[in-house]
Structure 1
Amino acid sequence: MKISKIVLYDEPTVPEIQLEKIREFISNALNIEVEVKGNFFESIDHDMCKKIATTRIFDLKNPFKVHTPSTEEIQIETQNKDMSNRKEMTLYDGFELQNIISKHIPSIENTLHIILTNKLTATFDQNDFRYHARSLISSNPTIISTAGIIEAPAKPKQYYLDLMTNFSENRVEEVMKKYKGEFLEYHDPRLYEILEGYVLQAILYYKTGEAFCDKKECRLFNAHWQKDLFYSQIENKKICKHHQEIINDFNN
Structure 2
Amino acid sequence: MVGTVTLYRAPTTPADADAIADWLRDRIDGEVRVRDRLLGSVNDSDALAEDLAAARVTDPYDRETGTTLVGIVRYEERALAKPERAGGVVYDGRVVGRALNARLPDDQGLDHLHVPLLDRVLGTWGGHDGRWHKRVAVFGQPSLVSVPGLYEAPAKPEAYYEEKSKHAMLTGDAPPREVLEADIEGDFLVADDPRTTEALKGYVLAAVDFVETGSAFCDDERCRLYDAHRQPGVVQAQLRDPEFCAAHAERYG
TM over 0.5: yes
Instruction: Say yes or no: does 1:182 pair with 2:183.
Output: no
Superposition pairs for residues 226-241 of structure 1, below 5 Å? 226-241=231-246
- Tell which deviates more after alignment, 108-117 or 147-156: 108-117
- Amino acid of the structure 2 residue aligned with 1:6: V
Q: Does structure 2 conserve the Cα–Cα contact (< 8 Å) formed by 1:7 and 1:114?
A: yes
The alpha carbon displacement at 1:64 in A equals: 2.7
Instruction: Say yes or no: does 1:12 pair with 2:14.
Output: no
Instruction: Say yes or no: does 1:39 pair with 2:55.
Output: no
Cα RMSD after superposing both structures: 2.0
The unaligned stretches of length 5 or more in structure 2 are none
The unaligned stretches of length 5 or more in structure 1 are none
Superposition pairs for residues 148-163 of structure 1, below 5 Å? 148-163=149-164
Superposition pairs for residues 43-192 of structure 1, below 5 Å? 43-44=41-42, 45-71=45-71, 72-82=74-84, 86=87, 89-105=88-104, 106-109=106-109, 110-167=111-168, 168-170=173-175, 172-179=177-184, 182-192=187-197
The alpha carbon displacement at 1:211 in A equals: 2.9
The alpha carbon displacement at 1:161 in A equals: 1.1
- Amino acid of the structure 2 residue aligned with 1:148: G
Q: Percent identity?
A: 27
Q: Which aligned segments of 4 or more residues in structure 1 are displaced greater than 4 angstroms?
A: none
User: Measured at CA, do residues 77 and 238 of structure 1 come closer, stay the same or move farther in structure 2, by a change above 3 Å?
Assistant: same
Q: 1:197 aligns with which of 187, 196, 202?
A: 202
Q: Does structure 2 conserve the Cα–Cα contact (< 8 Å) formed by 1:14 and 1:192?
A: no
User: Measured at CA, do residues 196 and 237 of structure 1 come closer, stay the same or move farther in structure 2, by a change above 3 Å?
Assistant: farther
User: Measured at CA, do residues 164 and 14 of structure 1 come closer, stay the same or move farther in structure 2, by a change above 3 Å?
Assistant: closer
Count of residue correspondences: 243
The alpha carbon displacement at 1:6 in A equals: 0.3
- Distance (whole Å) between structure 1 residues aligned to residue 166 and residue 22 of structure 2: 46
- Distance (whole Å) between structure 2 residues aligned to residue 179 and residue 23 of structure 1: 33
User: Measured at CA, do residues 180 and 41 of structure 1 come closer, stay the same or move farther in structure 2, by a change above 3 Å?
Assistant: farther
- Distance (whole Å) between structure 2 residues aligned to residue 83 and residue 144 of structure 1: 19
- Amino acid of the structure 2 residue aligned with 1:216: E
The alpha carbon displacement at 1:114 in A equals: 0.5
Q: Secondary structure at the match of 2:123?
A: strand
- Distance (whole Å) between structure 2 residues aligned to residue 228 and residue 101 of structure 1: 30
